[in-house]
A and B are shown apart, each in its own frame.
Chain A
Amino acid sequence: MYHVQDEASLLRASLDGEVEAWGEIVNRYKEAVFGLCLGFLRNHADAEDISHDTFIRAYENLYRYRVEKRFSTWIFTIASNLCRNRLRYRRHHPIAPLPAQMEGGCNPATTIAQEDRQAQIRQGLSRLPYRYRTPITLRYYNDLSYHQIARILSLPEGTVKTHIYRGKALLRQEIGEMEVINHA
């Protein structure tokens, strides 16, 4: 019933307490939110937790959402804040290293150049400082404009551009170094 409705109607229905309508919103945004969390946190268990918490928190505070603003920006802002809190928590409660699947690594079985490159990117992203990783994820996974990223992260647009530029420069450097090691 709900899957054919437009976003505004779904949000209005959710605000009236129709949780099924909110379920449809979750269905539409879960992948984008999860991708954002995964990009930020580099850990699927935390990303899963935060995605769940984001939708619960957003539903509880739905009255704060203003219809004239983009819903995606609003929900990404919630997710981004929750991710930041989780990272702060992780500083004092570190977890075991990520499984090889997430880290990639130089698995001899996956010697195809493209896969190697992706593994290097994954490794590079995990090492990248959080302040560079977040705008890069929002830009290249969520396909957001600099303006939207600036609003989500509460940063000036210029700072966002600088962080993305520096993040990419660091990634390029890391990939270069890894290639040198692999070829040696």
Chain B
Amino acid sequence: MHEDKLEKLLRDTLQQEVSKERHYLDGLEKKIVAELTGQLPKRGWLQTLTQLFAQMQRSRRRQLTVIGITAVIFLFLGIFVSERVPLVRGLFSVYDKQQKATIATNSDEGQLLFVMPAPGAQTVAVVGSFNNWKPILLTDEDKDGIWLTNLSLPPGRYEYAFVVDGRWWGQDPLADEYVRSFGGYNSVRYVGYAGDKI
């Protein structure tokens, strides 16, 4: 059969088939209208929010706008601060390194990691009761401002502090406790005892 003839036949057949069955469609729109009366189309979450917002009183809408804008400003400020301020950024890195060190030292009790965030510092040292308060230099090999050293220590309680470019820094955020000493603070870490953090 020729192509055009078959196509024409297909069209005619399908149309005739529908026209024969058309009576089934009588009143379909009325039936559907009756079924849907009182029912609203569903809404997407964005449309629902927009509609709620539009229905609010003007003063309420203004309040909500101010709260929203303030929240967004604080969010961006928080991101900016955490990215820009070295101490905040450093703290995150310190915790990360401390976590890695904890995993590394699990099989080797007595290893104590000292970490100090000090971007731009020339020298960072740790002094403590473990070596009669003589400075032990920390290193920053990857130049990310996080200085660290790992010391092998026998079990015990150790008081210590950092010295950053000659300035005493006695409150290590990773210490187990703090003690007052000569008008300042020293940090304390425990090694080898049950319940210690290393």
Which residues of A are at the interface with B, using a C-beta cutoff of 8 A? 14-15, 17, 19-20, 22-24, 26-27, 30-31, 34-35, 38-39, 44, 47-48, 51-52, 55-56, 59-64, 101-102, 117-118, 121-122, 125, 136-137, 140-141, 168, 171-172, 175-176
Contact = CB atoms under 8 A, between A and B. Distances in A.
Given A23-B30, A48-B24, A51-B25, A62 B41 contact: yes
Contacts of A64: 44
Contacts of A168: 3, 6-7, 10
Interface SS of B by simple majority = helix
A140 B8 CA distance: 8
Interface in B1-44: 1, 3, 6-7, 9-18, 20-22, 24-25, 28-33, 35-37, 39-44
B38 to A, nearest CB: 8
A140 B36 contact: no
B181 interface: no
Nearest to A176: B1
Given A20-B33, A55-B28, A140-B7, 13 more contacts: A19-B37, A27-B29, A30-B28, A34-B25, A51-B25, A56-B32, A63-B41, A63-B42, A102-B17, A118-B16, A121-B9, A121-B10, A137-B14
Contacts of A31: 18, 22, 25
B47 interface: yes
A134 B130 CA distance: 83
Nearest to B8: A140
Contacts of B43: 63
Contacts of A15: 41
Contacts of B20: 101
Nearest to A165: B3
**Which 4 A-B residue pairings sit nearest by Cβ, starting from the closest?**
A141-B14, A26-B29, A23-B33, A62-B41
11 contacts: A19-B33, A22-B33, A26-B33, A35-B14, A38-B21, A39-B14, A51-B25, A60-B42, A63-B43, A168-B6, A175-B1
Interface centre among B7, B12, B17, B47 (most CB of A within 10 A): B17
A48 B37 CA distance: 21
Nearest to A34: B25
Given A34-B25, A141-B18, A52 B32 contact: yes
Interface centre among B7, B22, B41 (most CB of A within 10 A): B41
A13 to B, nearest CB: 11
Contact of B32 (A26, A44, A121, A175): A26
Interface in B32-82: 32-33, 35-37, 39-44, 47
A118 B31 CA distance: 32
B31 to A, nearest CB: 7
A121 B13 contact: yes
Contacts of A101: 20
